[in-house]
Amino acid sequence: MRFFTLLLEVIWILAAVGGHHWTYEGPHGQQHWPASYPECGSNAQSPINIQTDSVTFDPELPAVQPHGYDQPGTEPLDLHNNGHTVQLSLPPTLYLEGLPRKYVAAQLHLHWGQKGSPEGSEHQINGQASAAELHIVHYDSDSYHSLSEAAARPQGLAVLGVLLEVGETENPAYEHILSHLHKIRYKGQNTSVLPFNMRALLPPLLAQFFRYNGSLTTPPCYQSVLWTVFNRRAQISMGQLEKLQETLLSTEKEPSTLLVQNYRLPQALNQRTVLASFIQAESLYTTGEMLSLGVGILAGCLCLLLAVYFIARKIRKKMLQNRKTVVFTSTQTTEA
């Protein structure tokens, strides 16, 4: 009887939380999400693999303008381990322009792989995953009062996706988040973070991005997201990536499980179009073409050098011959 009450309580709590337990791997892993969350099995899901030779260049696409990112107020921000990711709450003073409506910021979070793996991003470019990915989530504040109200509506959300790669130096902007992870190791833990310049989390060149209609990359996978994925990557150090991969746990207590590989695999593009704000320079020459171009230039240089050498030799020979003739002539004159 007591067991039965307990069971009911667990069911009630699960219902109250508003969803089924989900993970990235195992019996509740991503292949099984659609069973509990039907929209995860729908046809405009995220992330995607962005195939740059199939994107549509749109010269009319306005640049994304982040506002308030430089000075996000003075109030401390909540940093939270929700068991699936680390999430930083953002104030609505941060917002985006350059989209169909005004979108205000709500939170940012990260996706990553496991130690030693170069793959951890959700979006891929030409089949290439990056080490990690930052998502900054905004909602349409012209039409809705809150993130939760907008979350299931078409284009209710706008998410900025930043691919992260490993570079030589530590990224101080990301350190504002990463240096606090040890305080929120367990699922459910919170800490507060002083506001910092969030513009520095974005890649250096905001003008190059991809735009498409997609979804939340976690259950319930609502198809409500207007995605902006930047072409350029932001860099963090290897030490910073490892901190992300090795600090957080997906469990509330022991036995502990490391919170790793929290990325969803690319989903089918189906009938969707991916717009690009720029023309891909790389698509003009593939690596192979660049290589043959290089070899061609080298061969050309060599030919030119040989030509110059032979011409120089011929000129010298001719000059020597002329001198001999002169000498010969002068000798003849003396004898005569």
Q: Which residues are catalytic?
A: 84
CB closer to ligand NAG, 80 vs 233: 80
| Cα separations in angstroms, 261 against 50, 107, 152, 271, 317 | 20, 20, 26, 29, 73
Residue 185: CB minimum distance to ligand NAG, A: 14
CB of 167 or CB of 266, closer to ligand NAG: 266
Structure tokens at 336: 């005569």
Please report how close the Cβ of residue 86 comes to ligand NAG at its closest, in angstroms: 11
Cβ count within 10 A of residue 58: 13
Please identify, using beta-carbon distances, which residue of 109 and 243 lies nearer to ligand NAG: 109
Q: How far is the CB of 187 from ligand NAG (least distance, A)?
A: 11
Q: Which is closer to ligand NAG, CB of 167 or CB of 186?
A: 186
Residue 23: which residues within 8 A CB-CB, separation 6 or more? 29, 250
Q: How far is the CB of 100 from ligand NAG (least distance, A)?
A: 8
Task: Name the residue nearer to ligand NAG (CB basis): 31 or 56.
Answer: 56
Half-sphere exposure of 22 (CA within 13 A, CB side): 24
Which letter, b or e, does each residue of 4-32 get, where b requires 16 or more Cβ atoms within 10 Å of its Cβ? eeeeeeeeeeeeeeeeeebbbeeebebee
Nearest to 205 by CA among 129, 122, 278, 98: 278
Neighbours of 33 (CB within 10 A): 23
Supply angle C-alpha 85, 272, 120, rounded to 5: 25
CB of 78 to ligand NAG, least distance (A): 4
Looking at the Cβ atoms of 30 and 224, the one nearer to ligand NAG is: 224
Alpha carbons 1 and 91: distance in angstroms, whole number: 47
Give contact residues for ligand NAG (rule: CB under 6 A). 78, 80, 89, 190, 211-213, 273, 275
Q: From the CB of 107, what's the least distance to ligand NAG, in Å?
A: 7
Dihedral, CA of residue 218, residue 219, residue 220 and residue 221, to nearest 10: 40
Q: How many residues does the chain have?
A: 336
Identity of the residue, 78 or 170, whose beta carbon is nearer to ligand NAG in the bound complex: 78
Distance (Å, whole) CA 319 – CA 325: 10
How near is the Cβ of 38 to ligand NAG at its closest, in Å? 20
Look at residue 38 and give its three-state secondary structure. helix
- Main-chain dihedrals φ then ψ at residue 130, nearest 5 degrees: -110, 180
